[in-house]
Amino acid sequence: MVSSVKPANTNHVFRALADPTRRAIFEELTRQGEQTVHALTRYAGVSQPAVSKHLTVLKRAKLVRHRREGRETHYRARPDALTPMVDWLNLYGAFWRDRFDRLEALLERME
């Protein structure tokens, strides 16, 4: 049930996306494609150092990748990094469905 999801990866992804600003940044990147830190700063409405910090966390979770071009750093989303989260949802979805079925069977047996 929980074994095929690597805890470390899942934790990084969940933690990275736990913050609403980071979720917004990540979704903006999935929507708009590659963006510079400047553009993301304008979008997020927080300071550039704050945006850079958020991007570092997203990078650690492998949710974004970056490349430098001149003085600008460009970021782009890696939606495939969401796999641990999706796996988690699917695994536990199946797990709970199974438990609900077993609960139903038990209730039938109970007085």
- Report if residue 96 touches another protein, rule: CB under 8 A: yes
d(CA 40, CA 44): 6
Sign of torsion over alpha carbons 60, 64, 68, 72: negative
d(CA 43, CA 25): 8
In this structure, the number of other CB atoms found within 10 A of the CB of residue 61 comes to: 24
Helix (H) or strand (E) holding 69: strand 64-69
Q: Nearer Cβ to another protein, position 18 or 38?
A: 18
Sign of torsion over alpha carbons 56, 59, 64, 66: positive
- Report if residue 49 touches another protein, rule: CB under 8 A: no
Please, which of residues 16-45 interact with another protein by CB under 8 A? Answer: 17-21, 23-24, 27, 30-31
- Report if residue 105 touches another protein, rule: CB under 8 A: yes
Q: Nearer Cβ to another protein, position 20 or 70?
A: 20
What's the chain's length in residues? 111
- Report if residue 86 touches another protein, rule: CB under 8 A: yes
- Report if residue 75 touches another protein, rule: CB under 8 A: no
- Report if residue 60 touches another protein, rule: CB under 8 A: no
Residues lying near another protein in the complex (CB under 8 A) are found at 1-4, 6-8, 10-11, 14, 17-21, 23-24, 27, 30-31, 79, 82, 85-86, 88-90, 92-94, 96-97, 99-107, 110
